[in-house]
């Protein structure tokens, strides 16, 4: 975790955006595919419905719309963006990167671009990378996108996974703060590769025909749900407290907790361990399911636009997922929607 007492450029979030596909899949719809029902899914996950891509929609097309939303919010032109980071574990292709495809689509002709893979913790990891580029003066305007399209990588006959995931994209525009105030107060990141097998999507490939053949793997989500639950409720509260300590704050200073929207049981457990009230926790997974690396940003944008999250709110944004990875960002929200002026 970077020492914020050193002399660095202050960082702020000036733009927010999101995009959710229009196609809705309800619990009743899933009951047509596997042996389940609305009560069973809701009681175990808190999810009532999720959105999925259809037709020619892609991770790039979702990220493109979220990116335009964030740039409009901040009143920033695409050509003024210095860097695009796309946090995604499910891009449209291994290469070119989704970041390069978004760069072309929005016309950010002056921006460098790359993907970052940290699964559901991707937005927190990306936030830290963007923050450090700005703090050190390498870039002034960084567009951070979180997008995943899980619906095309699910076994829709596997009840343990197909009920959980939805598709979506979120966007944050980070800039060097004009007034000298730093709003990305602290970031805490961790990984444990020894537990990587608990949540994975294999990449299907074949050996060269001149060598011994290999067995093709199905490219579906594989998850040990019990282990992921134990992992999340154990490490995330510690990460939040560590990040708060790095910012010189405590849990008493948290206005809102915005967790990765994985499962309401996990969210509730984290809330209870930190002694937070339901009013302080932002959760919308009942409508969108687990949108992976987009989930924190999708929840953030929805509550800012609904007026729940006010100016000068202190937010703990925490992610956890495959890798295994986890982390927390402590952020002060101060940006104003330029479209209203």
Catalytic residue numbers read: 120, 260, 290
Structure tokens at 58: 């892609």
Residue 172 and residue 15 in contact, taking contact as beta carbons nearer than 8 Å: yes
Q: Phi and psi of 248, rounded to 5°? A: 70, 30
**Cα–Cα distance for residue pair 131/177, rounded to 1 Å:** 11
CA distance 144 to 15: 10
* CA distance from start to end of the chain: 37
Q: Is 134 exposed, middle or buried (0-12, 13-18, 19+ CB in 10 A)?
A: buried
Q: How far apart are CA 134 and CA 128, in angstroms?
A: 10
Please name every residue paired with 185 in a beta bridge, in sequence order, or none if there are none.
Answer: none
Picking from 298, 296, 293, 305, the residue whose alpha carbon sits closest to that of residue 331 is 296
């Amino acid at each position: 975790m970077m020492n914020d007492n050193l002399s660095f450029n202050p960082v702020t979030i000036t733009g927010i955006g999101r995009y959710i596909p229009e196609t809705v899949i309800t619990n009743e719809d899933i009951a047509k595919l596997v042996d389940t029902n609305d009560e069973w899914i809701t009681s175990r996950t808190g999810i009532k419905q999720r959105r999925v891509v259809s037709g020619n929609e892609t991770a790039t097309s979702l990220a493109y719309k979220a990116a335009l939303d964030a740039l409009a919010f901040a009143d920033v032109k695409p050509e003024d963006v210095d860097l695009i980071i796309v946090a995604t574990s499910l891009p449209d292709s291994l290469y070119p990167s989704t970041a390069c495809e978004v760069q072309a689509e929005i016309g950010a002709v002056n921006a460098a671009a790359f993907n970052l893979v940290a699964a559901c913790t991707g937005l927190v990891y990306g936030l830290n990378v963007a923050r450090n580029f700005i703090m050190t003066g390498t870039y002034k305007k960084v567009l951070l996108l979180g997008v995943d399209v899980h619906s095309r990588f699910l076994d829709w006959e596997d009840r343990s996974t197909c009920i959980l995931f939805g598709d979506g994209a979120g966007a944050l525009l980070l800039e060097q703060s004009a007034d000298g105030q730093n709003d990305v107060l602290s970031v805490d990141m961790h990984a444990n590769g020894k537990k990587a097998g608990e949540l994975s999507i294999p990449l299907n490939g074949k050996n060269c025909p001149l060598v011994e053949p290999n067995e093709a793997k199905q490219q579906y989500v594989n998850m040990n749900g019990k282990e992921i639950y134990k992992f999340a409720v154990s490490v995330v509260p510690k990460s939040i407290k560590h990040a708060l300590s790095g910012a010189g704050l405590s849990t008493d200073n948290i206005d809102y907790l915005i967790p990765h929207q994985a499962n309401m049981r996990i969210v509730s457990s984290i809330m209870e361990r930190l002694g937070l009230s339901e009013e302080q926790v932002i959760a919308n997974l009942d409508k969108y399911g687990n949108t992976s690396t987009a989930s924190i940003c999708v929840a953030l944008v929805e509550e800012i636009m609904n007026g729940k999250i006010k100016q000068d709110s202190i937010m703990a944004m925490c992610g956890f997922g495959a890798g295994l990875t986890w982390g927390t960002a402590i952020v002060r929200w101060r940006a104003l929607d330029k479209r209203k002026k």
